[in-house]
Amino acid sequence: MAEAPLPVRDGLNPTRLRLPENGRWATISEFLSARFPGDAARIAEKVESGEVVIQDGTPITRSTRYMPREFVYLYRDPPAEPRVPFEIDILHRDENLLVVDKPHFLATTPRGSWVTESAVVRLRRELDLPELSPVHRLDRLTAGVLVLTVRREARRAYQMLFDQRLVEKEYEAIAHAAPHLDFPLEIRSRIVKERGVLQAREVDGPVNAVTRVDVTATAGNRARYRLRPLTGRTHQLRVHMNSLGLPIIGDNLYPNVYEVGPQDYSDPLQLLARSLSFDDPITGRPTRFVSRRNLAAWGNSTPGPR
């Protein structure tokens, strides 16, 4: 992907649009008005002030003709969002990396209803790091270790570690105890996630998802599980734990979907990215980062029968 001709501003990347092949609009400005009808007046102001540009950085005007397949960049005004009331703890920082302990309920990157209330935007603003970029992602409902690069030049080296599965990941989850199962065990299945469908599901076919599961402690009717994903499918750990009949406590998708209010923080998913280990691609040193967080449900275990 070509580099954006506009820099990060106030922690946010510019919006990137590709003009449709068969556009019926005479000008780019007309297209933008149709694309953002509720924001047409504000878009017009941005065009007038030269804030909307094409791929080579040239600002458009109201009369700039429509160009199929051209890329257009502009800054959208972020929506007003209630603050997610949890802080991001910094575990490590150097010239290449920022490693943080992400809280539950905070998205990794801007998406959907969470734009400014995402880890990347918060950290860019708070630490004045406009080039900050995540090397991998954690679901909004998952807490724990998140690795980001500080400089654009370092980004690819660390992303390749994850792409080539050279990172050892360890998660922690709280679910019901399962004395009927023999641990450790390995789950191997095929997981698919369809666009627009909330749940991922297991289907027949070649294996694309592998998770090793072990029990580290049991207290009454609950257990603390160590999860080691060897692959990285969407919702893999949640799907695999559910397939064992052990849905993770606080999971509003598995086994059944139920609504949770956007500002309801009362029942976090009891899943934590506990640690990440890899050989640093720049220094060559073995590196390990460990979360300092604890899962609340472990302290609320119900005593078993006497």
By 3-state DSSP, what share of the chain in percent is helix, strand and coil, each rounded to 5? Answer: 20, 30, 50
List of E strands, the chain: 15-18, 53-54, 71-74, 89-93, 97-102, 133-134, 143-149, 168-176, 185-192, 201-203, 209-219, 222-229, 271-279, 286-290
Residue 120's alpha-carbon distances to 85, 108, 132, in angstroms, are 16, 6, 7
251 a catalytic residue: no
231 within 8 A of 208, measured Cβ to Cβ: yes
* Active-site choice (139, 182, 264, 267): 139
100 close to 88: Cβ distance less than 8 angstroms: yes
Check residue 9 and report its DSSP letter: B
Q: Catalytic residue positions?
A: 139
